[in-house]
Structures are given as structure tokens and as C-alpha cells.
Structure 1
Amino acid sequence: MTAEAMLASDFATLPDLIRAHAADRGTKPAIIFAERSMEYAELDRAMDRIAFSLQRDGAKQGDAVAILGPNTLEYALVFLGALRAGCVAAPLAPSATPDQLAAMVADCGAPILFHDAAHEIDVPARKISFEGLLDWLGDGTPVPVTVGPEDPFNIIYSSGTTGTPKGIVQPHAMRWVHIGRAPAGFGDAVTMVATPLYSNTTLVSFLPTLGWGGTVVLLAKFDAREYLVQAEKHRGSITMLVPIQYQRIMADPEFDRFDLSSFTLKTCTSAPFSAALKADILARWPGLLVEYYGMTEGGGTTILVCNAHPDKLHTVGKPIEGQDIRLIDDEGREVAQGEIGEVAGRSGAMMTGYHGRRDATDAATWYDEAGNRFIRHGDIGRFDEDGFLILLDRKKDLIISGGFNVYPSDLEAVLAQHPEVSDCAVVGIPSEQWGETPIGFYVGSGDPTELLAWCNAQLGKTQRLADLRRMDALPRSAIGKVLKRELRDLYR
């Protein structure tokens, strides 16, 4: 079956799509990394060799294959080759501690761990370094496997910003939805990938590009100037970046000299995306700017086409067609239009559950009166009169001070307006007097005492910051989320 026919069908797997592209457009570049370019025919053969070698070494269909390291071509090949063998890709974050990494390998039960030289950890799994990958590879043909929509595709571990990382099991059906909802233009795309391959943020652009037969330009790590150089060199047309990356790119003093006219689509997700930053990108970077709001776990997704709704940049847009997003209160009851509630979403792209964590899966699940399954997003928001979703904050970050709800995002928005503040975050800490009280952290040149007075003068009495601390940089995950738990621990 041709790739075109597969993409028009009810279900196809990514390895089968890549096989079809190899037959249809074998000499087209599939992945470009540094000075290396791999065509679709080469990619297909490399996936076969990895799948054969995994099966030779006893890896069975449904087994997890753990992968640890920064972005490299070898990393991408192992990920895709594991899928060809019917295995489950389990990419791990190098930023995790050795104990956390060992716990993840044990949790997913991976018999094999692929890693780079800088990440040697003590685990019972067989360990294969990327540097020794060629010596490990055999040259046979893998035994074909039959994969169904509900079979696991990958296990993505949560960032651990709220505690012990949880393994999010995503089925092939979920990835098929991601491929299917991508515009047909992905087949001619040159997609710039500058976020880690262990992040779902990356995979929702990396996988659809290969599924449609486009070209991925994979960067080893993110650097704003290098991103601009590579985007101009390769005539990048599509990219998925997180807000902090957009912020650093737009702040580059040489930004306007780079030719970015080839871009047709820029997307963003994973962290709060300020209206001011969206407006700056619209004004200076060609092509559509689209914000997606959703979760690695799936649930509902909203979309905001910023070019079409310049008056809604403070929102995350409307639910994608066919997806259902509700707002619920603490008792699990739906709230009225315009009222504040926790976001719960339902779609065809939902995790199977947290691996080995039935309690966590149940806690993240909500059912409506008809018995339909929704996933709780953990965010608090409200719908405006036009049906656009306005996010207020993470539910776990809500500060209840003196009985009043205080949303850190409101305080951060005020702090960010000061010209001497380049980055900021607000967290709640225990208070004997108020139960909780807000504390601010910022990056910038302003004096903390003067900034605290200025900020509190703009805030309501129940919102005022109890303290403000200057930092060289806020702690962030690899995809730009502020690690508020670290800020709370640091302050304590």
C-alpha cells in the first residue's frame, strides 16, 4: 500500500508509513543532523537492522526499550527501530537523577538501555552505548509484527515537577491521531526540531513530519543563534518551540537579519505563552503562529491561530473540532458558562494510563453523566463569551491566602510588566497568619525592595507578595517549564 493510501485509511503505523515513503521517495532526506543527512531508504534499512538486532537479543513485542541521552541521529534511529520491532520506546530525561533514571528503567521493565557515554547508570538492563551501536548492529531482516491501535507506542515519563515521575503510556492510536491531524503540507515540510526527543512536545512535530514524508532538521541542543543559522540554511518551514525558546530567539539582536521567509507554520505548547510575546512573533516572523494547549496524557486540545485572532492572544483558543473540554469544580460537577473550574478533556488522543499506577490513573480520570471518560488536566481556567479558553493557573499552584484564591499567573503578569524584569515566577509557601502567602522570584537588574513595593502597589490587598527574591536564572525543565517545586524548596 502506498503512503498516500495509508494516510487516507483508518489506521496505519509510523514504521509502515516510513517503509512506504522509502519506496515512494527513497532519496528524499528524512533526518538531517549536524552535517549528516539520512534519506528515507537509508532510514528504513537502519530501522530494520535495529529491529532485527533487538529481536536477536530477545526483545519481544511489547517490551520497553529505554533510551537515554541528548538529541543525536543514533537516538532517533533507536527510537524508530524499536517501533519497527513492535517494542515500546521509553525515552528518558538526562536531567533526572541517577536514582530516578534507575527507577524509570525498573518501572517500564526495559531489558535493554541505549545511552550516550555521558549517561552511564547502574541498572540491571543490558546497556548499549550509542558510540558502540555499529558494533552491536546485525544485518538481518526482522520478523514482521502486527501492531494494533491500542498497543503501546511509547512510555513518556512526566518531568517530575510534582514528585516522582510517572510513566505515561501512549498507544499507537494516539500517535495516529497526531499524524492524521497534521496538515498535508507536512509532506513537503522542513521541520526544525530544537527540543529533546524524550519530550512529547518534540514528538508531536517529529513523528507527523516523518509520517507524512517530510524532512526533520534535528538540533543537538537549543541555542537561539544556532537555531536561526540552521533555519535559514535549511529553509525551515515548520517548527514547534516552547515559549522560553521563542523569547530567546526574538531577543537575539541579529534576529531581523535572518531570512525566515520560508516558514509557513510555527507552533507552541508546554508552558504559558504571553500575549506580548505572541504579538512580537506575529509582527516579525513570517508564517502562521499557532498555540496548542493540551497534555502529554492526552485529553482535550485547544488551538489558537494567533494571526486570525489578534484580540484573543491572552487565551489558548478553542477546543479542536471533535474534542470535548469541560470545566469542573472540586466535587466533580460541571461549572456554568463563564465560571472558573478545572479543565477536563476527552478526545481520540488519550493515554492508556500511567504505567503500573492505577491509583494515579484513577485520580487523573473524570467521567461525565453519560459515563464518558475524560482526563483531568490539572489546570484552572474559564471560557470567555466567545468560547475561548483562558487559563488561570495550575490547580496545584493555586495559593489560598486568608481564604482567598490567589492565582500566581496574575501576579507574574504584573511583575513581567516592569522593564527591569526579564523573567519571573510566583509560588505559595506556608504561612501561620494566612495559611499560604505568595513569594516572588525574578531575573533582572531591579532592586528587590523597590520592585516589591512597585509590584504590590499594582496588586489587590489579598494578592500582595510577602517577599521577592532576585535570581540569576529560574530553574526550568528541558522544555521550558518553571520548576516551582524547586523554588519552594529553595525558599524554605
Structure 2
Amino acid sequence: MNMAAWLARAGRAKADLPALSRDGTVVASYSRFAENAARLASALHGPFGLAPGDRVAIVAGNGPRYLEALYAIWWAGLAAVPVNAKLHAAEIGWILENCGARLAFAGSGQDAEIGAYAPESLREIVTIDGPMYRRMLDSDPMPVAACAPDDLAWLFYTSGTTGRPKGAMLSHRNLMAMSFAYLSDVDPTAPGETLLHAAPMSHGSGLYAMAHVARFGINAVTESGGFEPAEVFGEIARTPALSMFAAPTMIKRLTEHPGDAVCENIRTIVWGGAPMHVADAIRAIDRFGPRFAQIYGQGETPMTTTVLSRADIADRDHPRWRERLGSAGIANSAVEVSIDRAGDTPGESGEILVRGDTVMTGYWNNPEATADTIRAGWLHTGDVGAFDADGYLTLLDRSKDVIISGGTNVYPREVEEVLLVHPQVHEVSVIGRPDSDWGESIVAYYAGEATPDALDALCLERIARFKRPKAYVRLEALPKNNYGKILKTELRTMDARAQAARVAAGEETQG
């Protein structure tokens, strides 16, 4: 079954219901949304000659046309490759080459950047809402292409410890199981209710869109297409039964924003992407009420490892409420979750393992990484956690050293490889520093004669701005074990002591 079948069904059965909106204004009904997707799909098959299974990238900021393009790709029986538009153009070019994308839908501004790094496999760059895009909308609509449940639907590029992104292959079956689990466990949705996309559609927020199409909801974006607290408050004020995904950093900014919110209009704010400090969660609940849920997942099994439900978060009378608020909740109903540990005693920690219909089929063109990650049917997440006696999972560590800054994953190896390009950097190690606003900030420790300004300029040339270190610390040599491996644990301890000393000296505030 093709994911686009849900949109085709909505276009027939709920033709006049609003489907897409921007800044509070409906821009497409379900009949218009479905028809545009069918026309774009026809052009992908006809003038562009794409064949079932070909990859089509989307590199754009949030907007109603983003979902048109996404569903058109599926409607045509093709595989979507949504790419984070905040990446450096060279990083985007590498993803397009790796996946062999034949065509890319690009936002205005991204089209020229993509062109500078476009691989030979890329036949065409179509600017969303540009002249070519509008000509495609004049094509005769085609019926939804037939797809098998395990056909590739979404190639989700998630960085790894190798320093290069890996493409998690998500099938139509994966996305459908994920959507059903969202509606069952996280946020039951009724026709006409709204999902606000204030986080990038290329990642978590875009995954939520499918459940809302299945239930005939409205997918909405702000005027800017991004996250601005004032815009979000405006959407809340005029939109009953509104839900949205937000990283903990976003929730903290909403909580601290001075504006008024009509809290009764909030259906559910789902946080994910990083753990939230209990104190920050309580402040948000005190301001907006018990209208929150939490999910833990990763690109390899999106949204569906564990869920801390609205009911759990609302149950302040429970004797272990604060403890549960600091957990990631219980296993999602779509999967089994286990801890790889020696014994069966609750509280024992180990690597978190997941299996079920939401788990990816593997990594694109990377059988070695697939075999290392999926073993005996279980996805090895690389995260360390422990269950309590009631089945609530607490995340304890991230064995792959991922840094989560503002809800976005930053992998140290990617940054380290860029810094090591500098001829005056002999060795480098990147760690996360606790940050009260961003969760973690990025800090680079290095040995060599390079200046911080030179290293910062190098990062600006090579990687996305959000991956740049906040601080560069020069040492004569980095700490290592007997085998010559740099000890990140020792660097974190050293960094924490240095930060504490600065706070004690009054040089900066804690956080």
C-alpha cells in the first residue's frame, strides 16, 4: 500500500475539508491537495521520465508546498529524500550523490546552492512554487502508483560515528505503523484538528503530518515557516485543538515568552529530540497546563521507542510523578523494547534494543552498518538506558557520543573531520557542554597552533552553522589511554571543572 493512498482517500471523501494552511489562512482543501499531488506525480513520470523506486530529494524550509511535493513523490511510486535545508551546500551535495537522487525539489534560495554541488545523477532542480513547478501542475493527474509494503518511501539521513551521514530506509509499512502508533499512543486526532509545523518538516515534524492526513486534519505552518514564539502564540490564539512537535529548547522559549496563550486551544505539545530537564518540564506544565506528551525514537525507528503520555504527565498526584517526568515513558505499542544487559533485574542499565514494524529495513548502500545495527531482528540504538519496575525507561547515556543541541543531533566525528583539515591542528576531540538554553553546546578541544578564529572560519566553509563549536580550547596534548585513544570522558570532566571554576570566579553564570 502506498502512503499517498491516504491523501487520495481524503481528496474524495473529505474534499472540502481544509488540508493546508499558512499563518491562519487555508491555502488548500483536501481535494486541491490531492489533485496537485496527482498532477506533480504525473510530471515526474512524464516529462522527467522517473521510474518507480527512483529517489527524489526535497531541500526546502517549511511550507504548504513542501507536503504537496512529498506526497507527489509517493503518488508517483518514487522514494522521498527530505534533506535538512540548514546543512551546508557541500553536505547536501554529498547526500544527493550518495542516494543517487534524480531530481530535487528546492526552496527558493536553496536551488542555487544545490546547483553548485549537484552530482551527475541529478537531472533537474525544481524550485518549489517556481515557474517549472507551476507548469508541472498543468499536467494531467495520474492514479496513485502501486507500491509494496516494504518498498522504500522515505530515505532518512541520520549522521553516524563514521563522520558521514547514513540513509535509514523507511518503507511504506514503517511509516504506516508509525502513524498508527502516533494516533494510538501520542495524540489521538479528529478531522479538522490542526498540526502546526514549527520544527523542520524534513525531520520529526514532517513525520507527524502523515497521521494528520490519515485523520483528515490540517497541516499548518507559520508565516516565517519556522519557529518564532510570537508566531506560535498567534497560531494558538486563533486555532482550536492545535498540536505541534517541539524540541525542549523550543518549549523553554515558549515558556519564557511574555505573550499570552489561549491554553485551552492547545491539544498536545509533543516534545522529543532530547531529554527535558524536570524543572523545565514543570515550568512548562505550570504555564500551559497538562497538555504535553513525550516521545523517544530515532531516524531508524521514528517516534516509536517509548512514549510518556499526556495522562502520565498530567498525573501530579502519583507518588513517583517527578521520577516519571524525568523518564522517556513506556514502550510504544508498535514495538518491543528491551535492554541488552547481563541480568533481568529492573534498574540494570544496558543498550536499548527495539524491534517492530517501525524499524527501518536497513541503511542505504551500507550493508556493514546495517548488519552491525540490526542483529537477530533487534535494532541496536546505541543509547544506554534502564527500565524501572513499572516499565518506564530512563535514558542514561548515548554510547555514540552524539551531542544534542537545541533538539538537533550533532555528531562529534563530523566536526572533528572538518577541524583536522586545518594543517595546524594535530588532534581534536569534540564534546558536548551542558547548556541551560540549548541542552548542550559544542566544544572543540585541540592540539596545534591554529587559532580559534581560523577554525571557526573553516567550519563556516564546510558544515552547517548549528554544528559549529561554541568554544575552541587548545591543549598541548589531548588525554589518551594506553592504546592512544582520546578520552572524551576525561575531557568532559576537565571541561566541567573549568566551567565550575569560571562560575566560582564570577566570570560567567552557571549553564
1:117 partnered with 2:108: yes
Q: Runs of 5+ in structure 1 lacking a partner?
A: 1-11, 368-372, 400-407, 455-467, 475-492
Specify the alignment match of 2:126 in structure 1. Answer: 128
Q: Matches of 2:21 and 2:399 in 1, distance apart?
A: 40
1:24 partnered with 2:20: no
8 Å contact kept, 2:177–2:334: no
Specify the alignment match of 1:9 in structure 2. Answer: none
Aligned ranges for residues 138-217 of structure 1 at < 5 Å? 138-142=138-142, 144-159=144-159, 163-181=163-181, 182-183=183-184, 184-199=188-203, 201-217=204-220
Secondary structure of 2:264's aligned partner: coil
Go from structure 1 to structure 2 and tell me whether the alpha carbon gap of 1:231 and 1:160 turns closer, same or farther (over 3 Å shift): farther
Code of the aligned partner of 2:200 = P
Specify the alignment match of 2:465 in structure 1. Answer: none
8 Å contact kept, 1:13–1:176: no
Pick aligned residue for 1:235 from 235, 240, 256:
240
Structure-2-length-normalised TM-score: 0.75
Go from structure 1 to structure 2 and tell me whether the alpha carbon gap of 1:50 and 1:383 turns closer, same or farther (over 3 Å shift): same
Q: CA deviation at 1:190?
A: 1.1
Structure-1-length-normalised TM-score: 0.77
Go from structure 1 to structure 2 and tell me whether the alpha carbon gap of 1:334 and 1:113 turns closer, same or farther (over 3 Å shift): farther
8 Å contact kept, 2:293–2:308: yes
1:53 partnered with 2:43: yes
Specify the alignment match of 1:465 in structure 2. Answer: none
Secondary structure of 2:189's aligned partner: helix
8 Å contact kept, 1:266–1:287: no
Specify the alignment match of 2:475 in structure 1. Answer: none
Pick aligned residue for 2:333 from 321, 326, 335:
321
Code of the aligned partner of 1:14 = M
Specify the alignment match of 1:252 in structure 2. Answer: 257
Aligned ranges for residues 65-464 of structure 1 at < 5 Å? 65-119=56-110, 120=112, 121-122=114-115, 123=118, 124=120, 125=122, 126-130=124-128, 131-132=130-131, 133-142=133-142, 144-159=144-159, 163-181=163-181, 182-183=183-184, 184-199=188-203, 201-219=204-222, 220-254=225-259, 257-298=260-301, 301-305=305-309, 306-308=313-315, 310-311=321-322, 312-321=324-333, 323-328=335-340, 336-367=345-376, 373-397=377-401, 412=434, 424-425=440-441, 430-432=478-480, 435-436=487-488, 437-439=490-492, 449-451=501-503
Q: Matches of 1:32 and 1:441 in 2, distance apart?
A: 50
Q: CA deviation at 1:424?
A: 4.6
Q: After superposition, give the CA deviation of every residue in 1:184-228 in whole Å (9 maximum; x if it has no partner).
A: 5343421111111111x1133211101111111123111111111
Code of the aligned partner of 2:501 = T
Q: After superposition, give the CA deviation of every residue in 1:142-170 in whole Å (9 maximum; x if it has no partner).
A: 25421121111111111568621111110
Q: Matches of 2:509 and 2:100 in 1, distance apart?
A: 43
Q: After superposition, give the CA deviation of every residue in 1:52-103 in whole Å (9 maximum; x if it has no partner).
A: 1001021111111111111122222111111111111111112222222112
Give the paired residue count.
419
Q: Runs of 5+ in structure 2 lacking a partner?
A: 404-430, 446-477
Q: CA deviation at 1:428?
A: 9.4
Percentage identity across aligned positions?
20
Aligned ranges for residues 25-44 of structure 1 at < 5 Å? 25-34=14-23, 35-44=25-34
